Amino acid sequence: MGSMMPNRSMKTRIRLGGACMAAWAMLLLSGCHQPPQETAPAFAYEKEFPRDAITVAERINLDHITTAQAFELTLAARHTEAIECAFPLLKDGEKLGEFAVQSSRQSEPALNPDGQIAVTKTYVLEPFLPGEYELPSMSIEYWDKTQPDAAHQTVQTDAVKITVASVLAPGQEASEIKEITPPMELPPSVWRWLAPLLAALALLALGAGYWAWRGRKRATAAIAAEPPHITALRRLDALRAERLLEQGEYKLFYFQVSNIIRHYLEDGFGMRAPERTTEEFLAELDASRTLAASHQMLLRSFLKHCDLVKFAEHHPSETEAEEVFTTCRRFVEEMHAAQAQAASEASAGRS
């Protein structure tokens, strides 16, 4: 009997091991034969409208909503550096067909890998009443900014059907409207403690609202009070932190650094640099005495070098790109120093 026990235990272990292996095999087979998950499309409606110099895509995230929902209409434009475009200007609260504009936002221009400029405008819309409605077509205006006399052209999108359902249960709309129940009168004893409590709550709400308003005002004032040279240096440091050069994204790096300097010249010196081509801006620079001759020469060399990389397929070395970054920081710092010195001399002259 003693000699039979090990054999029985061994057989039990063999059976358990076989059962475990069979269970694992079934799990693996069931996982392999699972049907692929279908991913929902990002947009309920999307259509492109290509032209020779620009392509506009119209996108809608929802085309079936309720009266309590809002949806987004996005217009995305791709064009060359010489083209400028303008989206429809719709103010908050303005009516668009049978919908109201809740808000809108526009992205900063970005450089695509194919060398085109990409910019989007998104409108958040909300319905008024349930029903089947047609969102009107939109007109996107574009023109060649290198040719001042060129006529403006438009891209017209299609109208899109939007279904708006009621949030009420079926048949609830047709229910009778009942008379409003008159308010209940509270006994005088309740008002003795309820009135002071309501007054205290009102004072607390006013105080909280005041401090929240004051905090927002301080934050807004701090952002608005940031000097242009500080904004430019901060944006340059943020660009450096993206490590575009290490990733080989030289064209995108040059596009971004050129955009930072152009906005700095507009914010700090009133020059219309961002929306102009390099040739147009340099022509304005020749006629202006805002910049010293040394700074004009530095800026001219920098912008032409950026254009070579962005549009002439010039491939700079890593050392060249690093020198461009250093030159930009030096340009901003020297321009601010010259501006501060001029202001100090003007103040001393007045005194």
pLDDT in tens, 206-259: 888 877 777 776 655 555 568 888 998 999 999 888 888 888 888 888 888 888
pLDDT at 77 over 80: yes
Please give the share of the chain, as a percent, with pLDDT higher than 70: 75
Strand-by-strand arrangement of the 160-165 sheet: 64-66, 160-165, 131-135
Instruction: Report the sign of the C-alpha dihedral through residues 312, 318, 323, 325, in that order.
Output: positive
Mean pLDDT, residues 31-42 taken together: 51
Determine which of 9-23, 36-50, 230-244 has the lowest per-residue pLDDT on average: 9-23
Cβ–Cβ < 8 Å for 70, 125: yes
Mean pLDDT, residues 307-316 taken together: 73
Average pLDDT taken over every residue of the chain: 78
pLDDT at 85 over 50: yes
pLDDT in tens, 166-201: 876 665 554 455 566 677 665 666 666 777 788 888
Mean pLDDT, residues 86-105 taken together: 89
pLDDT in tens, 325-350: 888 888 888 888 888 888 787 777 77
